[in-house]
A and B are shown apart, each in its own frame.
Chain A
Amino acid sequence: MQGAAPNFFPLFSSYLQDSIVADYGREIMKPFIAILAGAILLGNYQPAQAEGCSGHGTTINFYDTPKEAAKVAKKEEKLVFVLHVSGNFEDPRFT
């Protein structure tokens, strides 16, 4: 690699300024960008909690009753997902 060490910050401006720097930056940053995108899309997915909802430690928004879920589904043109469980869903030891 020729020339000075590339300036990665800000990432996207340096990416496009100089072709040599851009090539270097692109190759080096590829895996980091992939990991970052993956983390945003998968690992760090935080659902927006709607009113009357609780996640119970999951990424799914659960409404308190199927009736409420049905009301929202009708309004937002969605389907309804109802989970039937044995015992205490609120207690993580027993789900």
Chain B
Amino acid sequence: MGKFINEHFASSFQKVATFRVVGGQKQGGNVAAYFCAPDGRVLHVVAGPVDSATFLREARWVVDTAKKGIELSKGDGAAFKTFFRKAHAEKLRAETGLVVEATTFDPPSPDEGDSALSFRDPTGRPLAPKLPPPPIDGPDVRLEEKQFKAQQAAEAGAPGARLMVDRRGNRLVLGNQGRVDTLLAGHVMAPIEKIYGTIFENILGEKISKKPVEVVTPFPWVKNSKTNGN
């Protein structure tokens, strides 16, 4: 896996959130892997910890899809973005049986963080926005009910599986990766600083923080229960 990553990617890491250490034990904390274009625009994300086979599969998917996108778009950035968003929608359909319409046009945003009304952190940076995912249309009509139920049962066992609602109000289950694909069907090629807040807070359920580690000592008056004889 390391060989593939070093061959196709230049890698780096950032600390974006914290975790708690309670009684010497790590609690919480999470990880997100972003595959980006060299200008920092996000092509794909793996949210949460996954095994090496899953990680390698996702990394290969990005490389293959990017190669195909470059070939088909012939230097047209808008065509490349459209292709990649559709690829995420297709990946979601293939893996979960759910249909989402890829957003192929980004309207100009009225608030890009430069407005006097935008919230900023103490260092003056605007807060990471929470991007809305495009709505899920519902199950793929080509699937039989039995097939879709089997896919939903599999999805219920996926990491981070959560209840979602489609356009018609039907309740569905979607794991972390399914929700990432839904989000990216509408926001691929957005800069990493615009996406990471949504990934870490809305998908992984973590709070973004600059604290390195939060050490919690719930009973500070208890030094050592053995020596106290309690």
Interface residues of B in 3-53 (CB under 8 A from A): 3, 5-6, 8-19, 21, 26, 28-40, 43
A86, B10: Cβ atoms closer than 8 Å: no
Knowing A60-B2, A78-B9, A79-B62 touch, does A84 contact B213 (C-beta < 8 A)? Answer: no
A64 to B12 Cα, complex, angstroms: 6
Give the residue of A58, A66, A74 whose beta carbon is less than 8 angstroms from that of B12.
Answer: A66
Give the residue of A47, A74, A89, A94 whose beta carbon is less than 8 angstroms from that of B13.
Answer: A89
B10, A63: Cβ atoms closer than 8 Å: yes
Q: Decide yes or no whether B154 CB sits under 8 A from chain A.
A: no
Q: How large is the interface on B (under 10, 10 to 19, 20 to 34, 35 or more residues)?
A: 35 or more
Q: Decide yes or no whether B80 CB sits under 8 A from chain A.
A: no
- Kindly list chain A residues whose C-beta atoms are within 8 Å of the C-beta of B192: 66, 82
B38, A73: Cβ atoms closer than 8 Å: yes
Q: Decide yes or no whether B200 CB sits under 8 A from chain A.
A: yes
- Kindly list chain B residues whose C-beta atoms are within 8 Å of the C-beta of A73: 9-10, 38
Q: Decide yes or no whether B206 CB sits under 8 A from chain A.
A: yes
A69 to B12 Cα, complex, angstroms: 6
B10, A47: Cβ atoms closer than 8 Å: no
User: Which residues of B approach A to under 8 Å, CB–CB?
Assistant: 1-3, 5-6, 8-19, 21, 26, 28-40, 43, 59, 62-63, 66, 192, 196, 199-200, 206, 212-213
Closest 9 CB pairs of A and B: A59-B2, A86-B29, A69-B12, A81-B9, A73-B10, A72-B10, A73-B38, A83-B13, A69-B10
